[in-house]
Structure 1
Amino acid sequence: MNYIVTGGSGFIGTHLINLLKEVYPDCNIYNLDIVENCQDGKATYINCDVRKPIDLKDVMITVDDIIFNFAAVHRTPGHPDHAYFETNILGAENVTAFAKKHGIRKIVFTSSIAPYGAAEDLKEETTLPTPNTPYGISKLIAEKIHTIWQAESQQERQLTIVRPGVVFGKGENGNFTRLYWGVRGHKFMYPGRNDTVKACIYVKELVRFMLYRLEHHEEGIELYNCTFEPAYTIEQIVETMKKVTGMKRSVPLIPAWVLMSAASVIGCLGAPMGICPARVKKLMVSTNICGKKLAASGYIFHYTFEEAISDWFKDNDNQYLK
């Protein structure tokens, strides 16, 4: 049996490969990516662009193989609209076509909370998706492509779709990393409010949950929001980072009207650094994602939120978070 990881050189893929080798030391892992990542021989790298049909000529594929589909264009904003659709939709089509060709029966697909759209209301797995970005739309379509693959052979095929909140941990270089360095450098201020909910999950917890579902999901389709429950506010996140890393910082709150007025003036100057009222307003909207289904799944979290931040800090030799 093989583990086939598309996008295995990325943040989540790297952590999954590390976990697979820890749990199953003798397993065969294939990393399909357009970027090679040195993983100390834990996985066999194969240059693969999921936007094109997948053909692994030198790999002995079996029906018992498992696919983890992580390949995606995800940073938003940051790419032209067509890039999200091209990679995320064609990638889903080519991955499921590969699985169908070889009779592979199990896929884990990493989606996103972006299909829910930006709104303050609590989102459960049963909430009607209303994506309002090219990334969110492309991810929802990709979910449907995987769902169609499973529906073509419902009794044999198993599909797990996860919608993680903000994923943090070593190698993230994303929202949490920027938040930490902003606080550390006295450059972060609460934008408009400090009770904005920011649903999140530790990367090591996310990949452990994926393996747990493979062991406890026999057939059909399952969808899970992946986040700590209840979700944390931005102030709780900042205070935990400060506590764990020993930072002594006072983080001020800038009123919303001040931010919006400044953004309007800057926007009239051509929106340098991407600053505009729409983006500032987005900062003040919660990612209020419900994690009760995951909490009730039988999975036992390995880390509290504070322990997760501490483990991340330890992974960086107790020097910083990145």
Structure 2
Amino acid sequence: MLNRVLLIGASGFVGTRLIEEIGEERCVNLDKQHSSRYDNITVIQDIRNEGIDAAISHQLSAVVLLAAEHRDDVSPVSLYYDVNVQGTRNVLDAMDKKGIKSIVFTSSVAVYGLNKDNPDEEYPADPFNHYGKSKWQAEEVLREWYQKDPENRSLSIIRPTVIFGEANRGNVYNLLRQIASGKFLMIGKGENKKSMAYVGNVVAFIKYLIDNDRPGYRVFNYVDKPDFNMNKLVSQVRSDLEQNGGLIRIPEVLGMLGGFGFDIVAKATGKKLPISSVRVKKFCATTQFSADKLDASGFQRPYTLEEGLERTLRYEFIENHDDKPVFFTE
């Protein structure tokens, strides 16, 4: 019998690549949105609704929970907790009803907060926003579920740093697009380091956990090393794009003032703008995380960070893929 996996929230960027990685014939996708590539295996359902087990008709060996409310500007903020925490409870209830004992959960390094010193998985949680707080609460719900039957249940938690890759329209893409345009403005000294994760490696790691599943509790940061600081990252991208010339730089304090100005405009107009104080704060923050536990797991990354960047830049700014779907994330 085919060993099927239920992916929840796989109509988006990571999920679409994960279905490709695992194989369409092994997957069932439960999502509140249709899938641009895999709608034939997609069941439309919202995890905020109880009784989602009724939408699961296949015999399944494991669940991968990708669904999350994650944008910076979600309103009302209760949505973070309705989706990320209560939604997780609903998924676990459905798993219990169907006899599914294995789950891979994508959390976030947001549980650590900002400007931490290369935290590993044992570092105390200190989330600074509702997204991070709700992800930590969801982890607690999952750990409570696991502890009820640790000899038979399997819980793997992945805390990825910012994920980038082909066809993604998130913060990393916006940065790459600005650099590619030749109009990039460096805010601050550029010495802050940024941990990053290429989507091709992230989905390969999720598949690795599924294929090597066993009872137990595991938690991993997901980072592709080495960490670049902003100066190195910008230099690498400009080199791949064969750009020359100097950069315009402004102090961080001026960047924050500009961000607050955009916040005021966004609030007055009701429009979501590409620049905000939160995004400037993130840009200037050190977001560096340990990957020692991942490196010791036996998993081999298919791509280096440089290769992931080069593949993304070629797909987005050199080749023509206007006929392909894109995915909007943070």
1:181 aligns with 2:183: no
User: 1:311 is aligned with what amino acid?
Assistant: R
Structure with the larger RCO, 1 or 2 (CA within 8 Å, 6+ apart): 2
Superposition deviation, residue 121 in structure 1 = 2.1
2:292 corresponds to which residue? 292
Per the alignment, do residues 128 and 2 of structure 1 end up closer, same or farther by CA in structure 2, a change over 3 Å counting? same
Q: Is the 8 A contact 2:53 2:98 kept in 1?
A: no
Which among 61, 82, 89 is matched to residue 59 of structure 2? 61
Residue 17 of structure 1 corresponds to 19
Name the CA distance, whole Å, in 2 between partners of 1:204 and 1:92.
Answer: 25
C-alpha change, 1:249 and 1:74, in structure 2 (3 Å) is farther
User: For the Cα contact (< 8 Å) 1:31–1:44, is it kept in 2?
Assistant: yes
Change (3 A) 1:90 1:303: same
Q: In the comparison of the two structures, how many residue pairs are matched?
A: 315
The separation in 1 between residues aligned to 2:276 and 2:295, in whole angstroms, is 38
User: d(CA) in 2 for partners of 1:270 and 1:131?
Assistant: 25
1:48 equivalent in structure 2: 45
For the Cα contact (< 8 Å) 1:193–1:255, is it kept in 2? yes
**Normalised TM-score (structure 2):** 0.86
* Pair 147,247 (structure 1): closer, same or farther in 2 beyond 3 Å: same
Q: Which residue of 1 aligns with 2:10?
A: 8
Question: Which residue matches 1:245?
Answer: 241
Instruction: Please state how far the C-alpha of 1:314 moved relative to its aligned partner.
Output: 4.4
Alpha-carbon separation, structure 2, partners of 1:271 and 1:57: 39
Query: Which residue is equivalent to 1:301?
Result: 301
Query: Which piece of structure 1 moves more, 131-140 or 304-313?
Result: 304-313
Deviations 1:253-281 (A, max 9, x none): 21224334555677788877586766544
Distance 2:260 2:219 in 1: 40
Residue 39 of structure 1 aligns with an amino acid whose one-letter code is R
Question: Contact between 1:111 and 1:164, CA under 8 Å: does it hold in 2?
Answer: yes
One-letter amino acid matched to 1:6 = I
Q: Distance in 2 between matches of 1:95 and 1:86?
A: 12
Gaps of 5+ in 2: none
How far apart in 2 are the matches of 1:138 and 1:61? Answer: 30
Same amino acid, percent of matched pairs: 28
User: In 2, are the aligned partners of 1:229 and 1:290 still within 8 Å (CA)?
Assistant: no
Is the alpha carbon distance of 1:317 and 1:229 closer, same or farther for their aligned partners in structure 2, counting shifts above 3 Å?
closer
CA deviations over 1:64-83 (Å, ceiling 9, x no partner): x2111001111113443111
Question: Would you say 1:232 and 2:228 are equivalent positions?
Answer: yes
Distance in 2 (CA, whole Å) between partners of 1:58 and 1:127 is 36
2:147 equivalent to 1:151: yes
State how 1:252-291 maps to structure 2 within 5 Å.
252-260=248-256, 273=273, 280-291=280-291
- Single out whichever of 135-144 and 258-267 deviates more from structure 2: 258-267
Checking the alignment, whether the CA contact within 8 Å between 1:4 and 1:30 is kept in structure 2 is yes
Is the CA contact (8 Å cut-off) linking 2:62 and 2:210 kept in structure 1? no
AA in 1 matched with 2:57: V
SS of equivalent to 2:225: coil
Structure 1 stretches (4+) deviating beyond 6 angstroms?
264-272
Identify the residue that residue 35 of structure 1 maps to in structure 2.
33
Could you say if the C-alpha distance between residues 138 and 48 of structure 1 is closer, same or farther in structure 2, counting changes exceeding 3 Å? same
Aligned-residue offset at 1:318:
3.3
- Preserved contact between residue 229 and residue 295 of structure 1 (Cα < 8 Å): no
Aligned in 2, Cα 1:96/1:300: closer, same or farther, shift over 3 Å? same
Which SS does the other structure have where 1:199 is aligned? strand
Q: Amino acid of the residue matched to residue 164 of structure 1?
A: P
Which runs of 5 or more structure 1 residues have no equivalent in the other structure?
none
Question: Residues of 2 paired with 1:278 and 1:136: CA distance?
Answer: 14
**Which of residues 87, 93, 96 is equivalent to 2:89?**
93
Match runs of 1:85-164 below 5 Å = 85-164=81-160
Alpha-carbon offset, residue 317 of structure 1: 8.1
Matched AA of 1:35: Q
Deviation sequence 1:56-115 (CA, Å, 0-9, x none): 4561334xx211100111111344311111111121001111111111121110011111
Three-state SS of the structure 1 residue aligned to 2:219 is strand
What code does the residue aligned with 1:77 have?
D
Query: TM-score with structure 1 length normalisation?
Result: 0.88
